[in-house]
Amino acid sequence: MKLTQQVAIVTGGARGIGREIALTLAREGADIALFDVNAQILEQTVGELRALGRRAEGFAVDVTDGKQVDEGVGKVLDKLGRIDILINNAGITKDGLLIRMDDAQWDRVLNINLKGTFLCTRAVAKHMLKQRRGRIVNIASIVGIIGNAGQANYAASKAGIIGLTKSVAKELASRSITCNAIAPGFIKTEMTDVLPEEAKQRLLAAIPMGELGQPADVANAALFLVSDEARYVTGHVLVVDGGLAM
């Protein structure tokens, strides 16, 4: 096992890609703390992690609230003793064409996706700096690289995450802390289940591999980036998209 005696925080880890990342890291020996707003599903996922024989704790943390994030990080240290890995995965979409997009739609997406990533990274970095070791993985999107009509807010948040990732990577590299991003294409989760059938068919036609990705495809990329094998990889954006953006 690659991650024995390590502790990982996964934000938005109750379901979807975050849940799959948490399970994948746990199977490699990591103890897991989940930050999520969905209390009911959070407990369910914590149960699945414990069934793997790992220590797991769920914390009701809204990543847009700096106080909740700081307190959550403190509780992880109290209960699990250390933090080696942070996966900034919590994210939402609120799609709409630019001229119809209201301020609230813009603010909510930027707050959760980008500010949430900043707040969690800042809180955990203080601890990792003292520890002189750490792995931070931010879940961006290919939409942050190539853009997408109807997703100006989401694309801006994900492009922001890529800039944040590279800046954090430069700031923390000398203390053996890496910071990388994963840019998934379209992955089969509740986020993409709501796409209209016609949009799904158009997407599938544009993906060279001819299928949506699975949460495990993103989780395996995350596992590589937090492992010792990726020791010398930082500031990288790993695209996991079946060839869509190339």
Instruction: Report if residue 38 touches ligand NAP, rule: CB under 6 A.
Output: yes
Q: According to the binding rule CB under 6 A, does residue 91 interact with ligand NAP?
A: yes
Closer CB to ligand NAP, 53 or 211, in the complex? 211
Sole window of 2-10, 11-19, 74-82, 219-227 interacting with ligand NAP (rule: CB under 6 A): 11-19
Residue 195's CB: how many other CB atoms inside 10 A? 15
Could you tell me if 151 and 95 are in contact, meaning their C-beta atoms sit under 8 angstroms apart?
yes
Q: Which of residues 185-224 bind ligand NAP (CB under 6 A)?
A: 186-187, 189-192
For residue 109, the minimal CB distance to ligand NAP (Å) is 9
Q: Report residue 242: phi and psi, to 5°.
A: 60, 20
Q: Shortest gap between Cβ of 55 and ligand NAP (angstroms)? A: 21
Where does residue 31 fall: left (phi above 0), alpha (psi -120 to 50 degrees), or beta otherwise?
A: beta
Q: Which stretch binds ligand NAP (CB under 6 A): 12-20, 22-30, 95-103, 220-228?
A: 12-20
By three-state DSSP, how is residue 36 classified? strand
Which pair of tokens denotes residue 92?
A: 């939402």
Q: Which stretch binds ligand NAP (CB under 6 A): 14-22, 74-82, 128-136, 195-203?
A: 14-22
* 184 is a contact residue toward ligand NAP (CB under 6 A): yes
Consecutive H or E run containing 182 = strand 177-184
Residue with smaller CB distance to ligand NAP, 132 or 240: 240
- Alpha helix locations (H) across 38-182? 39-51, 66-80, 103-109, 116-131, 143-146, 152-172
> Is position 35 an interface residue for ligand NAP (rule: CB under 6 A)?
yes
Q: Which is nearer to ligand NAP, 138 or 178 (CB)?
A: 138
- Rule CB under 6 A: say whether 129 interacts with ligand NAP: no
Q: How far apart are CA 151 and CA 37, in angstroms?
A: 23
8 Å CB contact between 220 and 23: no
Q: Residue 190: how many CB atoms within 10 A of its CB? A: 8
- Which among 154, 158, 177, 182 is annotated as catalytic? 154
Amino acid (1-letter code) at residue 212 = L
Is residue 154 annotated as part of the catalytic site, yes or no? yes
Give strand pairing partners of 239: 183
Closer to ligand NAP by CB, 92 or 204: give it: 92
Which residues are marked as active site?
154
- Applying CB under 6 A, which residues contact ligand NAP? 11-12, 14-18, 35-38, 62-64, 89-92, 112, 116, 139, 141, 184, 186-187, 189-192
